[in-house]
């Protein structure tokens, strides 16, 4: 009888365990992973292949989702002020709007219905703004910021694409309010001159005036495509914010692309194109959905404590309406161009079913990770979750969870085809590295963060790398803490801010766009304002392994600067309202990584290296060595 009771007890235990497995929520339950290739161009713009040829190649390479991102408009226009829109030279290359948005969308839509193995999603790459410096006579004409680009998805009607706020683009009624004043003035003067001609009052002079005012009225017509022009200098982040806001109004999504600007200087005919690295735009702009986090080389703005973490901290503190997500983009034009292969960089989506709607939902909610693969045996993140061991609640990429105890983090990393590899795995919490270790794949991690201060919301994100050409970046999981006696809410929609606003997290807040005053080198050190922050330390005992840094354009051999005054603050961002990393003495030598596009008193903020990490210093308090 006792043996029977013991056997029955074991059966009951097994049944209970099975039932618990069924009812305990799992972040991976019901999700499948789809490989996506983003930022692929066809013959509609700079690509060498047709949309169908790319779809066929994607099918052969096992790519599940192909995102087309042909240039919305690809043109340069230079005119003579004040008749710059009439007396002009324009160079335009093939693009979606020059060929026809209807043709572009129709072709991809027809192919998508034909190819069941690959989901084909149309998008565009927008270059909202550039500005001229130099001149034709001196032969030093430069188009600045031409390669500052945004990827746009979810705007799949021709009228929506045709009304994007781009320079040198389609007629639009949206800018009438901005341009109607000048148009009305010149139009009124033209009509007045016509009256004088009719009255035969100084007829020749009136005819000349009428011709001039007519040309000025035409030049300043109110049906412009953009509220900006390329003749009045740098407009900062405003033209890009205008594009982000416009896309958001139409229900689309925007992603910053090519923030590293590795091809910073290039030529088109006799004109130079100049675009400096601009990761600070992640902080200066708002309302966008994400950015390029994985490219052919590691990107510094995804390093711990850099721009991505500053933006995520702003979301946690309630200063930003939503989180921003990392994606992997290819910038793929032609086979083997610059060594590129279709699908070398992939964005892997977690979806319930293989459908366009499922992929777009995952893209919107951040349920994805990005990976760069040197071959078919890429890194695969089979699981990354945060759970509450008390309640059994689980959240995965892009989701948010409420916990009443120390959160438990799980990760499952392997090479896709099982080849043995050694990798480094890193967990970042609120911009600081809290766990980093060298592992052999496949590897499963179960780790409980018992050192987290359970006072405000936090996030965890994961990155892993075998080398600079074989690395992975995952989107964050958000955690807020509740009292053990409180009722633990179910997972809110991704991107939602907790009711009443979350408490301020432990990491520094991101800055506002305005730039405070910075003292000149001759001012005493007490005049240098400081946000009073400090760099976020690593947890003790973590190995000091980091992704190899990538040389940035504009960084010459041996290019360094020396501080001119004592107590010069090295900042965590391009502005004095960012917290200090450290203060250095007069005569300190700093290696320059690059110049930023943020300027004060006509001098830019510089990105410099200090003890193995990036920091920012104003050019006004240093001199070239």
Which pLDDT does position 558 carry in this prediction? 55
Tell me the DSSP string of 254-292. EEEE-TT-SS-EEEETTEEEE----TTHHHH--S--EEE
pTM of the predicted structure, to 2 decimals: 0.77
Which pLDDT does position 603 carry in this prediction? 85
| Residue 198, C-beta contacts closer than 8 angstroms, at least 6 positions apart | none
- Assess contact for 67 and 36: CB atoms under 8 A: yes
Which of these, 277, 293, 289, 278, lies nearest to 320 by C-alpha position?
A: 289
Mean pLDDT, the chain cut into blocks of 10 residues (625 residues total): 45 40 43 96 95 96 97 93 89 94 96 94 97 86 94 95 92 75 89 88 87 91 89 94 96 95 71 91 96 92 94 94 95 83 95 95 98 91 95 95 95 92 95 95 96 94 92 97 62 40 38 37 33 34 36 50 90 77 91 82 84 85 89
Which pLDDT does position 29 carry in this prediction? 54
Which pLDDT does position 21 carry in this prediction? 35
Q: Which residues pair with 256 in a beta bridge?
A: 150, 291
CA distance 582 to 433: 18
Q: Which residue has the tokens 């074989």?
A: 470
Tell me the DSSP string of 505-548. -SSPPPPPSS------TTS-GGGS------PPPPPTT-----PP
Which pLDDT does position 609 carry in this prediction? 87
Q: Which residue has the tokens 């290039």?
A: 266
CA distance 59 to 53: 10
Which of these, 44, 262, 236, 278, lies nearest to 128 by C-alpha position?
A: 236
| Residue 175, C-beta contacts closer than 8 angstroms, at least 6 positions apart | 222, 223, 224, 225, 226, 227
Q: Give the pair of three-digit tokens for residue 467.
A: 């080398």
Phi/psi at 472 (nearest 5 deg)?
-140, 140
CATH for the 525-624 domain, from 2.40.160.40, 2.30.30.40, 3.30.870.10, 3.10.180.10: 2.30.30.40
CA distance 20 to 8: 18
């Amino acid at each position: 009888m006792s043996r029977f009771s013991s056997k029955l007890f074991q059966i009951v235990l097994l049944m209970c365990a099975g039932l618990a497995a069924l009812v305990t929520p799992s972040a991976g339950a019901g999700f499948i992973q789809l490989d996506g290739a983003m930022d692929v161009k066809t013959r509609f713009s700079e690509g060498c292949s047709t949309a169908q040829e790319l779809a066929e190649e994607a099918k052969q390479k096992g790519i599940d989702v192909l995102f087309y991102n042909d240039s919305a408009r690809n043109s340069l226009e230079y005119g003579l002020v004040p008749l710059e829109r009439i007396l002009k030279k324009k160079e335009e290359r093939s693009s979606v709007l020059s060929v026809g948005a209807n043709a572009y969308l129709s072709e991809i839509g027809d192919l998508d219905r034909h190819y069941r193995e690959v989901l084909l999603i149309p998008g565009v790459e927008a270059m909202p703004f550039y500005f001229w410096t130099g001149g034709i006579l001196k032969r030093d004409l430069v188009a600045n910021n031409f390669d500052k680009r945004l990827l746009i998805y979810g705007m799949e009607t021709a009228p929506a694409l045709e009304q994007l706020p781009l320079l040198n683009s389609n007629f639009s009624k949206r800018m009438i309010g901005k341009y109607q004043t000048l148009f009305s003035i010149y139009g009124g003067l033209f009509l007045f001159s016509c009256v004088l001609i009719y009255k035969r009052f100084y007829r020749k002079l009136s005819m000349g005036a009428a011709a001039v005012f007519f040309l000025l009225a035409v030049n300043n017509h109110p049906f412009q495509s953009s509220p900006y022009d390329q003749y009045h200098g740098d407009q900062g982040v405003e033209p890009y914010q205008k594009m982000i806001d416009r896309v958001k109004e139409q229900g689309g999504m925007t992603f910053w692309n090519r923030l590293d600007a590795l091809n910073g200087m290039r030529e088109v005919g006799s004109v130079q194109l100049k675009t400096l690295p601009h990761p600070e735009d992640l902080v200066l702009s708002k309302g966008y959905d994400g950015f390029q986090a994985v490219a052919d080389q590691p990107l510094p703005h995804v390093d711990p404590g850099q721009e991505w973490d500053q933006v995520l901290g702003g979301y946690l503190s309630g200063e930003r309406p939503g989180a921003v997500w990392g994606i992997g983009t290819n910038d793929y034009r032609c086979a083997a161009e610059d060594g590129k292969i279709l699908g070398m960089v992939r964005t892997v989506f977690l979806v319930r079913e293989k459908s366009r709607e499922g992929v777009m939902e995952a893209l919107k909610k951040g349920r994805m990770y990005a990976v760069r693969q040197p071959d078919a045996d890429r890194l695969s993140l089979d699981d990354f979750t945060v759970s509450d061991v008390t309640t059994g609640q689980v959240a995965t990429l892009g989701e948010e969870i409420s916990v009443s105890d120390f959160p438990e983090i799980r990760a499952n990393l392997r090479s896709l085809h099982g080849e043995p590899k050694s990798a480094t795995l890193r967990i970042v919490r609120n911009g600081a590295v809290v766990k980093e270790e060298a592992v052999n794949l496949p590897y499963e991690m179960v780790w409980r963060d018992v050192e987290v201060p359970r006072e405000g919301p936090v996030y965890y994100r994961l990155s892993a790398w075998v080398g600079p050409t074989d690395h992975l970046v995952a989107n964050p999981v958000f955690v807020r803490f509740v009292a053990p006696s409180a009722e633990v809410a179910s997972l809110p929609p991704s991107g939602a801010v907790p009711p009443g606003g979350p408490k301020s997290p432990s990491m520094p807040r991101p800055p506002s766009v305005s730039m405070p005053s910075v003292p000149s080198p001759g001012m005493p050190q007490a005049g240098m304002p400081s946000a009073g922050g400090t760099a976020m330390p690593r947890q003790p005992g973590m190995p000091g392994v980091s992704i190899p840094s990538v040389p940035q354009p504009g960084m010459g051999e041996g290019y360094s600067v020396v501080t001119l005054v004592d107590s010069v603050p090295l900042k965590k961002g391009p502005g004095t309202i960012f917290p200090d990393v450290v203060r250095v003495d007069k005569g300190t030598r700093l290696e320059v990584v690059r110049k930023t596009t943020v300027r004060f008193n006509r001098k830019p903020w510089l990105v410099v290296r200090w003890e193995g990490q990036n920091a920012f210093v104003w050019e006004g308090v240093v001199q070239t060595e």
